[in-house]
A and B are shown apart, each in its own frame.
Chain A
């Protein structure tokens, strides 16, 4: 198959990208947030890592927003009013997403 035909296939594949519409409609938080908890995490090296953690937390009704800082290796979590997750639950969510928690720090009392 020649190059042009293959590139045509590639762009056709790209054109079906609305498929992720099945995903949650809320976009990933890309700006720092006023966090209730800041978690230090090992293994945060790629955007996929951030997506996995973001989506794992956004399934929880207690969570208002999540921000992943790949440079500082920090996950910041903001809870909804009068909501909270304990440290063990936070560790479990991140561990099940495939990453290693090294520290959980509370910055505010919900």
Chain B
């Protein structure tokens, strides 16, 4: 993907945020979020501080052993729009980051290129059902260019009160056009209690992944 195409995608992402999951980059003013995700051959670590009800800043690190690169840089995220309904909530978030990518996943001694990414996320949930759509594009000119989409449908097997263990069974569909298997389907188990969210899953092709997220 060339720079103009990426810029167009970024603009499209912004346009999709017409006016901003349990995994939320934007929480509440003064709230911190830290997360780590490992899937197949990539690892991502992210820390965010929410400054206003609609805006957060943070730092993003990512290592991709399969494509052999790593990325480090600051990021921003925003809540473009939230709908608070009596029994449900829906959100549109955007996120973007810029930094440096190195063409070696093991060391920062390789070639370095400026890199950036942009994403948009929309979710709707009530206490029984959960849906999410997420799109993300990453660009590092001579190192890697990727676009990915994710759709999630979740159901809570029981309704938990505040402070209890919340459990979600989620079906996740990933679309990555550059991959050999462009579409993968993964059952995911999500556990959320107090300030810790933990997810584990595996695609039907056998690629397992896990993530943990803390709010504080």
Contacts and interface: CB of A to CB of B under 8 A. Distances in A.
Asked if A and B bind, the verdict is: yes
B25 to A, nearest CB: 12
A10 B87 contact: no
Contacts of A70: 127, 161-162
A98 B79 contact: yes
Contact of B164 (A13, A30, A95, A102): A30
B38 A55 contact: no
A43 to B, nearest CB: 3
Interface residues of A, number: 47
Nearest to A59: B30
Interface string A63-79: 00001111101000000
Contact of B28 (A19, A29, A96): A96
A67 B161 CA distance: 11
Contacts of A41: 84
Contacts of A28: 162-163, 194
B192 A48 contact: yes
B125 A98 contact: no
B146 interface: no
Given A43-B84, A43-B89, A55-B31, A14 B198 contact: yes
B127 A17 contact: no
20 contacts: A6-B39, A6-B40, A13-B211, A17-B214, A22-B32, A22-B216, A23-B195, A27-B163, A28-B194, A29-B163, A30-B162, A42-B84, A45-B89, A47-B194, A49-B89, A68-B162, A69-B161, A97-B28, A98-B82, A102-B86
A56 B24 CA distance: 16
A98 B127 CA distance: 17
